Chain A
């Protein structure tokens, strides 16, 4: 789930991106050298290793940890920190290139080229907070974790169906979500 911020790796290479708590300090300022993210592996997930790396980059793009121009961890550093086959990392980066999310720069590394995040980090933090408020209400009402997931999934489905039925009004999405809090 969570992407570790690149503190350990960035420390080693000299730079240390601040604002790891997602409070919006990484708005636009230049970051230190190295990558803002670090990969992890879940051996029990059954998901192929290269796909785990792809998913983690996509996840970081959605949550705003990575933005265009950011460098992905160097192949050599990923190999040394996770003890995985170099070809696995190359395959993951190739997949990200095919998806148009990253591009290799000869002699430098692989860099983020596009973003998946439609919402800026401060807004995401606000949404996160309102969702926590809703979770508190659900918990107080006696829902357990599975119940909450089931309810959320069903509401999300209803929401999409309703929006599909009303035609293309994607702008209304944010307002309705916030209404949940």
Chain B
């Protein structure tokens, strides 16, 4: 199925005179765990809020789950969203939170929710505000997943959690993706963990989409070249993303595949997702975006501007 879970065209959001998001073109295909990364203020939360219908676009449009307008009843029905600050009523016991969520939603898998909370050892009689950070996050996630969504949207879900709680939280998310085929879009600052978790990457910078694509395609289309610094400028005609230069030696992140010839005197190495992401974050002018054909084709990406 080649449905897009989030599709934006010319999408923009202005707060006062500042554009938080601008001319955003995006098509995230279904069946992925997509990571949305970017510096603070790049527009990640704005984009997610627009996609789940919590904010109205100032320009352009965004649809979800194969064409439903964001915020429409059909869209809301298929999406679960866990916001940055773990939205729970702090004074309600977990059991009441469960009850409330069930009554507010057309579809709610009570059996799944109860079994999951028991498995996690979350005491149902305790006020949610008294639960640990990890338990609060798991409770909010469980309530979202019990709605049996087709798309799970998470805004900085693990930022406040310790390593163990972070691991367990992501395990729940990924098990849902494996069991039920839930598509996931999550924003994160924790680059090191993305390589294991995400198979689709969207890099936002200054309110625009800078890089988007399947992780496998992105990694296969970039190489790190290491060689004499004096020759680094020879690569001017090549698509160089980022240069790190010492007095004698230079590292160039270039757009190239394993099959591309390596110049004499240079070594080519594969790059990891974290290295690739950091390089693009340091070069807001560089970009790697899907070709004109929306979504995936044989020509995964091309250099822009």
Contacts and interface: CB of A to CB of B under 8 A. Distances in A.
Contacts of A41: 196
Interface stretch (A72-80, A122-130, A149-157, A170-178): A72-80
Contacts of B178: 75-76, 79-80, 86
Interface in B161-187: 167-168, 170-172, 174-175, 177-179
B54 interface: no
Given A46-B272, A76-B175, A76-B178, A83 B197 contact: yes
B198 interface: yes
Interface string B249-289: 00000000000000000000000100000000000000000
Contact of A83 (B167, B179, B199): B167
A85 B168 CA distance: 14
Interface string A62-102: 00000000000001100111111111100000000000000
B56 interface: no
B174 A83 contact: yes
Contacts of B192: 43
Interface of B is mostly: helix
A84 B199 contact: no
Given A85-B33, A86-B178, A49 B196 contact: yes
Nearest to A50: B216
Contacts of A85: 33, 174, 177, 196-199
A181 B175 CA distance: 49
- How many A residues touch the partner, as a band? 10 to 19
Nearest to A89: B178
Contact of B199 (A46, A79, A82, A87): A87
Contacts of A84: 174, 196-197
A40 B167 CA distance: 14
B137 to A, nearest CB: 14
Contacts of A79: 171, 174-175, 177-178
B77 interface: no
A82 to B, nearest CB: 8
B175 A80 contact: yes
B195 interface: yes
B174 to A, nearest CB: 5
23 contacts: A41-B196, A43-B196, A46-B272, A76-B175, A76-B178, A76-B179, A79-B178, A80-B171, A80-B174, A80-B178, A82-B171, A82-B196, A83-B167, A83-B168, A83-B171, A83-B197, A84-B174, A85-B174, A85-B177, A85-B198, A86-B174, A86-B177, A86-B178
Interface of A: 41, 43, 46, 49, 75-76, 79-88
The 10 closest A-B pairs by CB, nearest first: A86-B178, A83-B170, A83-B171, A80-B175, A79-B178, A84-B196, A76-B178, A79-B174, A80-B171, A87-B199
